[in-house]
């Protein structure tokens, strides 16, 4: 039975939440593999909007097993609040399990994130959720895993080992007081009790489900260009949103990944700092922002908007091994007379067709555009490929040829039913 990975192909906020919820209708297991509550995934069912940060976007289906994998960093308070938020909305989140190997975002990680960001001359524009410092500690072997929190004595012992160094760092960054073992124990332990029954070896659970023929959907957060290896370093997040991250972040062998769906907007957005070749600063950018409601789900920051960048999409197809693309928010272009697609960059007189590794090069890249006629029609009621006007089909065909993988889904609105299936992954 197929194992499908949903991966962001741009700078995040591509509509992964919507696609995951849509595909989850056919899945038995939905698993988040990296990131933390820097993510904001929006799901719209009928007229109800659900904003998820940590819990997989399959949670709205009562019989679907949802997994927070070992690659995720978990803020326990946020997790408890999100569980409560779902219950208040009438969703039963009892199908959620959490990896005992996942790392915990501690209060000092959030402080370090904020202090480091404010001290940076070249700001990254982090979400301030403690993501980077939590992953630094994971890799530096000073992390606190979920399994370390379950027993209070063990938790205290682990803190005694790691806290002195954290306090030195905090002091150097100008933090007034640092933290004590007692205050952190009181703070964190109250969130441990409610989640304890959900904690398990999730890699094993996924493998057993897979062997029993379950359909498994892996949900990425962020996007390819925010990947710590493949993104616009240093303007990236601290994890691996690319498809390989699904294998590491869930404890699933790489040969088990069957389909990799790259989720991409019909244009491009970015939140936070860093180069963005097709960014539109004038009125067209404003049109996309307003029509696409491009304001961050997590921080509310206005998103930077620009034209579709096929250099990026081709790069995402390569580093993720995309077997299909989902083109999202096509309806946002409904009233755009001429739609531009960047097919290459011009850099100091030469033409680049491959995405550069150096952000200083990227900053100087000028997009080379191909102009396509818009359809100037409302697409939000389209349900099949045939419902799309010729110009929209021509646009999708052009993207497909540029990206080099088939367009398998098209989204024409935020709701579940506003999704056109060209070739299903399950």
Residue 414 lies near ligand GDP (rule: CB under 6 A): yes
Q: Which does 222 bind (CB under 5 to 8 A by kind): ligand IMO, ligand GDP, Mg ion, none?
A: ligand IMO
Return the residues of window 252-271 that contact ligand IMO according to CB under 6 A: 271
Contacts 24+ apart (CB under 8 A), 285-294: 287/335, 287/336, 288/332, 291/332, 291/334, 291/335, 292/265, 292/267, 292/329, 292/332, 294/13, 294/269
Pairwise CA distance, residues 44 & 47, whole Å: 7
- Given a contact cutoff of 8 angstroms between Cβ atoms, the answer to whether 411 and 418 are in contact is yes
Residue 202 lies near ligand IMO (rule: CB under 6 A): no
Residues facing residue 367 across a β-bridge? 345
Q: In the complex, what is the shortest distance from the CB of residue 422 to ligand IMO, in angstroms, rounded to a whole number?
A: 23
Q: In the complex, what is the shortest distance from the CB of residue 346 to ligand IMO, in angstroms, rounded to a whole number?
A: 26
Mark 319-338 with x for binding to ligand GDP (rule: CB under 6 A) and - for no binding: ---------xx-xx------
**Residue 148 or 273 with smaller CB distance to ligand IMO:** 273
**Residue 28 or 219 with smaller CB distance to Mg ion:** 219
CA gyration radius for the chain?
A: 21
**Residue 40 or 245 with smaller CB distance to ligand IMO:** 40
Residue 113 lies near ligand GDP (rule: CB under 6 A): no
Strand intervals (E) in 220-309: 259-265, 268-270, 304-306, 308-309
Q: Which stretch binds ligand IMO (CB under 6 A): 33-41, 43-51, 77-85, 145-153?
A: 33-41
Return the residues of window 240-299 that contact ligand GDP according to CB under 6 A: 293, 297
Q: In the complex, what is the shortest distance from the CB of residue 3 to ligand GDP, in angstroms, rounded to a whole number?
A: 20
Q: What are phi and psi of 366, to 5 degrees?
A: -105, 130
Nearest residue by C-beta to ligand IMO? 272
**Residue 266 or 344 with smaller CB distance to Mg ion:** 266
Q: Which of 406, 386, 411 is nearest to 22 (CA)?
A: 411
Among 41, 53, 109, 230, the one annotated catalytic: 41
- Given a contact cutoff of 8 angstroms between Cβ atoms, the answer to whether 191 and 107 are in contact is no
Residue 44 lies near ligand GDP (rule: CB under 6 A): yes
Residue 127 lies near Mg ion (rule: CB under 5 A): no
Alpha helices in 279-324 (DSSP H): 283-291, 310-320
Residue 124 lies near ligand IMO (rule: CB under 6 A): yes
Strand intervals (E) in 46-148: 48-52, 65-68, 73-74, 96-99, 103-104
Q: In this chain, which of 16, 101, 138, 304 binds ligand GDP, going by CB under 6 A?
A: 16
Please say if 41 is a catalytic residue. Answer: yes
Number of H helices and E strands in the chain, helices first, is 13, 20
**Residue 344 or 420 with smaller CB distance to ligand GDP:** 420
Q: In this chain, which of 4, 5, 9, 18 binds ligand GDP, going by CB under 6 A?
A: 18
Work out whether strand 259-265 and strand 3-8 pair parallel, antiparallel, or are unpaired.
parallel
Residue ranges that bind ligand IMO, judged by CB under 6 A: 8, 11-13, 35, 38-41, 124-127, 129, 131-132, 221-223, 226, 237-238, 271-272, 297
Catalytic residues: 13, 41
């Amino acid at each position: 039975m197929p194992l499908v990975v949903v991966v962001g192909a741009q700078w995040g906020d591509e509509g992964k939440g919507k696609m995951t919820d849509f595909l989850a209708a056919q899945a038995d297991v939905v698993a988040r593999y990296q990131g933390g509550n820097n993510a904001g995934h929006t799901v719209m069912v009928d007229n109800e909007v659900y904003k998820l940060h940590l819990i997989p976007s399959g949670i709205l289906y009562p019989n679907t097993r949802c997994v927070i994998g070992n690659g995720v960093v978990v803020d326990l308070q946020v997790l408890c609040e999100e569980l409560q938020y779902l219950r208040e909305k009438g969703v039963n989140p009892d199908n959620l399990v959490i990896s005992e190997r996942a790392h915990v975002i501690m209060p000092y990680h959030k402080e370090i994130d904020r202090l480091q960001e404010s001290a940076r001359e070249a700001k990254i524009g982090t979400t301030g959720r403690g993501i980077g410092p939590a992953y630094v500690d994971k890799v530096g072997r000073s992390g606190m895993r979920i399994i370390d929190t379950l027993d209070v004595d063990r938790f205290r012992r682990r803190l005694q080992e790691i806290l002195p160094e954290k306090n030195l760092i905090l002091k150097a960054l100008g933090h007034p007081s640092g933290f004590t073992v007692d205050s952190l124990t009181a703070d964190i332990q109250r969130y441990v009790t409610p989640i304890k029954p959900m904690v398990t070896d999730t890699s094993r659970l996924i493998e057993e489900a897979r062997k029993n023929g379950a359909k498994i959907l892996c949900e990425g957060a962020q996007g390819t260009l925010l990947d710590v290896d493949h993104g616009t370093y240093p303007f990236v997040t601290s994890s691996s949103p690319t498809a390989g991250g699904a294998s590491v972040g869930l404890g699933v062998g790489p040969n088990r990944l069957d389909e990799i769906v790259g989720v991409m907007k019909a244009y491009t957005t970015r939140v936070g700092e860093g180069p963005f070749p097709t960014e539109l600063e004038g009125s067209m950018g404003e049109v996309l922002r307003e029509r696409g409601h491009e304001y961050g789900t997590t921080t509310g920051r206005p998103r930077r908007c620009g034209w579709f960048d096929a250099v990026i999409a081709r790069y995402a197809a390569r580093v993720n091994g995309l077997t299909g693309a989902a083109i999202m928010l096509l309806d946002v272009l409904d009233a755009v007379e001429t739609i531009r697609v960047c097919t290459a960059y011009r850099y100091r007189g030469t033409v680049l067709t491959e995405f550069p590794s150096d952000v200083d090069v990227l900053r100087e890249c000028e997009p080379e555009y191909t102009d396509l006629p818009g359809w100037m029609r409302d697409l939000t009621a389209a349900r099949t490929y045939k419902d799309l006007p010729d110009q929209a089909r021509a646009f999708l065909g052009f993207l497909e040829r540029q990206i080099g993988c088939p367009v398998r889904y098209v989204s024409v609105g935020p709701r579940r039913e506003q999704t056109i299936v060209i070739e299903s992954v399950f």
